[in-house]
Amino acid sequence: MIHEPFIQTEHHLLKIAEWEKNDRNLTAGFTTRIGGVGQPPYHSLNVGLHVADDDTIVLKNREHVARKLNIPIEQWVVGEQVHDAKINKVMRNDVGKGGQSQKTAIKGVDGLYTREKNILLVSLYADCVPLYFYVPKQQLIGLAHAGWKGTVSQIGSKMVEIWTNIEGINASEILVAIGPSISQTEYEVDQNVIQSVNKVLPQGEERPYQLTRPGHYLLDLKTLNEQILVRAGIPKENIIKSQYCTASNTNLFFSHRKEKGKTGRMMSYIGLKGGLSQKERRTLD
């Protein structure tokens, strides 16, 4: 039986249970489309301000999630998300950016990370791959939005490179979660995408796609991101991967591909609440 690391604790939340269990200050997970307010095609828990939904309704949904997580939207930080691989270190003066308005989101950014407490990093999805990064001992957290363009731009390995070269982290300490996203069986792409995929994989490495008809392939974006992360130095045993497919479960998730672009967004989130760090707790034990 395949282990699913994203556990549905409430109808509107999937949590990375094994991470949260080991750190009482950590909150990390993924929202569903269930339990909010809104009209078709954005029904019901759309938390994306960049789609053609009513911002007032979206903010009601964000407030609903904020109450459940006990982290107000004034403490959220959201990137603009342009399907690239730019990563931004979130500092205390970034608090609130993108939480209540798309205009204040951090520009040109698809990756966020921080050491700050009481900040919720947030990224938005409707099929793309959410990547979560976490170093328990260092209390370092991050998110990356990996559509096919961000994936082949290797946003995952760029996060690892920044953490190892700038933050002084050993790659073997980094835990990664690959969240709910479109599965291989639902994600057909053309030759242009596959050419970009081939450029990032060394010769001889297994290709995470299957030919369906001339010039068309089924691509496994989750596995491609996993391959890129392992090549960047993350031990495979440090990576957990969701089996949820957003396109196959539109009762639970929004899907840009399945719903032909007219749909809402879920959010990935990760944050560290204030309190003693693991190191400080060990000192007191």
Q: Splitting the chain (285 residues) into consecutive groups of 10 residues, what average pLDDT does each group show?
A: 88 96 97 96 97 97 97 97 97 97 97 98 98 97 98 98 98 98 98 97 94 97 98 98 98 97 97 62 36
Amino acid 2: pLDDT: 72
Q: Omega into 5 within 30° of 0, i.e. cis?
A: no
Amino acid 283: pLDDT: 34
Amino acid 224: pLDDT: 98
Domains recognised in the chain with CATH numbers: 6-180+233-284 (3.60.140.10)
Amino acid 278: pLDDT: 41
User: Do the Cβ atoms of 176 and 242 come closer than 8 Å?
Assistant: no
Amino acid 1: pLDDT: 58
Best CA proximity match to 102, nearest among 48, 31, 30: 48
